[in-house]
């Protein structure tokens, strides 16, 4: 293997310098499986990993990129062979070891997800961690008994990556989907994905004196957190649940115990980076089949490695719609 191109983020004088550089194969970490990366994608966490105060990067220099898809070029692991198409995301990838914004990556065998039927290298990264998190949220809600007959499901931060894929999955499965967004200009996009009702971000994040309000949602998929999660809890129907994955609206949660003790509402924590590998492989199989979202193509923008920096900047400002795929290979 020759030297290869990578986007590198390096802490210098309290700041983070990002540039596309050439790396030598010896700079790859230990691991049983070496992958020629075909695609990566950009997640909110990638932006945090490349900013000084993001609190996510654990090494410097770091090749960010918490997601990758590609072809195995070397493997010493049982069941994984050169030529296999695979997906890797989460665990320490792009955080504590070099990640997907590079032409090559090396990972432990038990992080590897074989490419499921129904997906290919690009489509897998169109979904990426955000799509996987949306699917895991729906999977966990349905494991708890949710079905389309139960009533409307609220998806917050709906034009973001997790939000867009959640809308597409739920609509395709026959749910009535209500969404919240801060982007007036994207109502048509959300309706195309399957949103039946669109709420304004202001409405769902406003403070309220009332610990309980009219029961509206059978469930919520919430990548926003903060005051929006407090809204979802106080408007949840009896027995409903919120699958909580994110914090773009803040980390603090001010609520009361009343939704929990008077309506039996449940909070389901969604931790995609650390999902056990068997569940991870199962959810990816479902993303290629019965959890395939409606409208994935309309969610995707494609960029090259040199354009990633601009996307990292705008994602922290909430300015990105849907998913950004990064083409790495030829
Ligand atoms: N727990 C996990 O395993 C896991 C996995 C993936 C992601 N996450 C987290 O989930 C969140 C979303 O990730 P993502 O990849 O979907 O990010 P994204 O593509 O950047 O989408 C975030 C969306 O949140 C909304 N938003 C932005 N700023 C907001 C604010 N101040 N108040 C309320 N809403 C705001 C915007 O949607 P609208 O304009 O439509 O409102 C934005 O498009 C992040 O916090 C990320 O770290 C967690």
pLDDT for 262-288, tens place per residue? 999 999 999 999 999 999 999 999 999
- For the CA atoms of the chain, what is the radius of gyration? 20
Distance of CA 321 to the CA centre of its chain: 13
Q: Which atom of ligand 1 is nearest to the CA of 249?
A: 32
| Domain assignment of residue 291, yes or no | no
Q: Where are the alpha helices (DSSP H) in the chain?
A: 44-49, 121-143, 161-172, 187-193, 201-205, 226-234, 258-263, 277-287, 296-299, 308-315
The values of phi and psi at residue 283, to 5°, are -65, -35
Looking only at the bridges linking them, the beta strands covering 33-42 and 323-327 are: antiparallel
| Domain assignment of residue 282, yes or no | no
Q: How far is the CA of 25 from the centre of ligand 1 (A)?
A: 34
State whether 176 and 256 are in the same domain.
Answer: yes
Instruction: Write the DSSP string, 198-214.
Output: EEEHHHHH---S-S---
User: Per-residue pLDDT tens for 142-185?
Assistant: 999 999 999 999 999 999 999 999 999 999 999 999 999 999 99
Residue 224 near residue 248 (C-beta atoms within 8 A): yes
Among protein residues, the one with the nearest Cα to ligand 1's atom 25 is: 157
The values of phi and psi at residue 91, to 5°, are 50, -125
State whether 264 and 308 are in the same domain.
Answer: no
Residue 220 near residue 154 (C-beta atoms within 8 A): yes
State whether 178 and 58 are in the same domain.
Answer: no
pLDDT beyond 80 at 74: yes
Instruction: Write the DSSP string, 278-297.
Output: HHHHHHHHHHTTTTPPTTHH
Q: Is 224 in the pocket of ligand 1 (CB under 6 A)?
A: yes
User: Per-residue pLDDT tens for 114-138?
Assistant: 999 999 999 999 999 999 999 999 9
Q: Is 159 in the pocket of ligand 1 (CB under 6 A)?
A: yes
The CATH number linked to 311 is 3.90.180.10
State whether 104 and 210 are in the same domain.
Answer: no
Angle ∠(192,138,173) on CA atoms, nearest 5: 45
**Confidence (pTM):** 0.97
Q: Which atom of ligand 1 is nearest to the CA of 163?
A: 16
Q: How far is the CA of 315 from the centre of ligand 1 (A)?
A: 9
Residue 156 near residue 180 (C-beta atoms within 8 A): yes
What is the length of the chain?
Answer: 330
| Domain assignment of residue 22, yes or no | yes
Q: Which atom of ligand 1 is nearest to the CA of 129?
A: 6
State whether 110 and 137 are in the same domain.
Answer: no
Residue 137 lies in domain: 129-269
State whether 171 and 82 are in the same domain.
Answer: no
| Domain assignment of residue 183, yes or no | yes
C-alpha to C-alpha distance for 314 and 307, rounded to whole angstroms: 12
Among protein residues, the one with the nearest Cα to ligand 1's atom 30 is: 249
Among protein residues, the one with the nearest Cα to ligand 1's atom 31 is: 249
Residue 249 near residue 101 (C-beta atoms within 8 A): no
């Amino acid at each position: 293997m020759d030297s290869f191109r990578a986007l590198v983020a390096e802490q210098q004088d309290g700041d983070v310098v990002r540039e596309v550089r050439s790396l030598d194969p010896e700079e790859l970490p230990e691991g049983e499986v070496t992958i020629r990366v075909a695609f990566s994608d950009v997640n909110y966490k990638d932006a945090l990993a490349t900013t000084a105060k993001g609190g996510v990067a654990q090494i410097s220099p770091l090749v960010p990129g918490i997601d990758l898809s590609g072809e195995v070029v070397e493997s010493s692991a049982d069941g994984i062979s050169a030529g296999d198409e695979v997906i890797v995301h989460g665990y320490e990838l792009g955080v504590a070891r070099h990640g997907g914004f590079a032409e090559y990556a090396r990972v432990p065998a038990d992080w590897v997800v074989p490419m499921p039927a129904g997906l290919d290298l690009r489509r897998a990264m169109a979904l990426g961690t955000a799509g996987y998190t949306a699917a895991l949220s729906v999977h966990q809600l349905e494991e708890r008994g949710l079905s389309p007959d139960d009533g409307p499901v609220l998806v917050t931060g709906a034009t973001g990556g997790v939000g867009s894929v959640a809308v597409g999955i739920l609509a395709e499965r026959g749910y009535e989907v209500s969404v919240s967004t801060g982007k007036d200009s994207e109502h048509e996009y959300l309706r195309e994905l399957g949103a039946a009702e669109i709420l304004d971000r202001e409405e769902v994040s406003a403070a309220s004196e009332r610990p309980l309000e009219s029961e509206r949602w059978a469930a919520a998929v919430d990548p926003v957190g903060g005051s929006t999660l407090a809204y979802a809890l106080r408007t949840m129907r009896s027995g409903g649940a919120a699958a909580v994955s994110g914090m773009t609206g803040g980390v603090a949660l001010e609520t009361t115990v009343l939704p929990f003790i008077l309506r039996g509402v449940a909070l389901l924590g969604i931790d995609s980076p650390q999902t056990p590998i068997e569940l991870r492989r199962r959810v990816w199989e479902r993303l290629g089949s019965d959890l395939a979202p409606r409208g994935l193509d309309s969610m995707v923008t494609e960029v090259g490695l040199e354009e990633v920096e601009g996307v990292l900047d705008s994602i922290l400002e909430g300015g990105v719609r849907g998913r950004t795929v990064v083409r790495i290979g030829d």
